[in-house]
Chain A
């Protein structure tokens, strides 16, 4: 407590943005890319999105069917666990609420599964009631592959690794199953406002 870095002043931000920045984050204007491996490039002819797991009959959409779904335009602040935040990012996609219409499940947890094998886990309630989307446009343009195109999750209230790129499947789980980063030292839930970056935070 009370530690001071000699001579450090830092770059102060205007107070208008400070309340929007979670602890330990800094604001960027560009859009950094981070992923654990090469960028997958799923073929749109074979692309599907499915809801699987604890559900009587899995729901699946082809790319064409997915594009025909009603869309929402959302503008959100996003926060990466590597400490950058970006304000007012603009997306177009489909609300997860809409995708889950008619789904009955006893599951309380979910795993997002990506083309390329990436996984990340979340409680189901964090995907419901206007908190999550599957987006395929960023800033008015098709989502580039390195940012998760053709379609990625957007769950902006949590650190951005909880928004899987190249989404293929949301699996409904009875038990919480840690995903890729969650088994590699990162927090099981990942709330940026409580700075839940790593195990034990």
Chain B
């Protein structure tokens, strides 16, 4: 399962079976997909919506669920001026169907057999494909050490906060570092600023350990994080980036 297939990626119907609110603006939608071929942690799907008159809209979303899970979970941020996300997060109900195809992408992927220390750096909903990697990691017995640096606007905007706490509590070599860019809640022990060189020095694996690095988030965040990591001495080839949060892949 989870190989990149040269076969055409066909559109298929997917039924919403579970809906979970993560933050005020972000929800996780789990779909039952009849002929899901399996996927790798980090891959994405294309979603297609069709209006009654045949008008269509397509978008890409990262897969949040690990390869081991049967349903396909997408964690989607509702963009108020968006065309597709307000429908998916707000309109869609359990039992409703959408069309999707995938999995897509063979580059921004991580397999648990990779022995290198893992460094994940996320801005906002950029944590979604990285969470698929951490969930995948949690299912295997031999684990490489992993660190996640997650930048969120406010405490309430931290996606997967409780699940990340549980994963850390498992004490299996995962550390999570959080920073808030627009709030300093009392009692907060994490960072309260944008990612910077000092934060990278605190969090990043020493370059001698040649880590596997995945950075995902909005463009300015990813630009900044990736430049800081290269400035820290990382080989650019270790650093895989995906810009624009939930949307992945090549292009502009």
Contacts and interface: CB of A to CB of B under 8 A. Distances in A.
B154 interface: no
A31 B252 contact: yes
B147 interface: no
Interface residues of A, number: 46
A88 interface: no
Interface stretch (B19-27, B165-173, B222-230): B222-230
A146 B243 CA distance: 11
B208 interface: no
A200 B5 CA distance: 9
B219 interface: yes
B4 interface: yes
Given A32-B219, A36-B240, A185-B4, A3 B251 contact: no
Interface stretch (A50-58, A79-87, A99-107): A79-87
Interface in B193-209: none
A10 interface: yes
Contact of B252 (A5, A6, A26, A84): A84
Interface string B78-115: 00000100010001000011110000111110000000
B57 A37 contact: no
A34 B249 contact: yes
Contacts of A33: 219, 223, 243, 252
Nearest to A182: B250
A34 B83 contact: no
Contacts of A9: 51, 55
Contact of A39 (B107, B108, B226, B244): B226
A198 to B, nearest CB: 5
Contacts of A63: none
Contacts of B248: 82
Interface stretch (B6-14, B63-71, B184-192): B6-14
A136 interface: no
Given A10-B57, A200-B8, A38 B104 contact: no
B6 A37 contact: no
B52 interface: yes
Nearest to B59: A83
B50 interface: yes
Interface of A: 3-12, 24, 26, 31-40, 78, 80-84, 116-117, 146-147, 159-161, 180-181, 183-186, 197-201
6 contacts: A3-B99, A8-B50, A9-B55, A32-B219, A200-B9, A201-B8
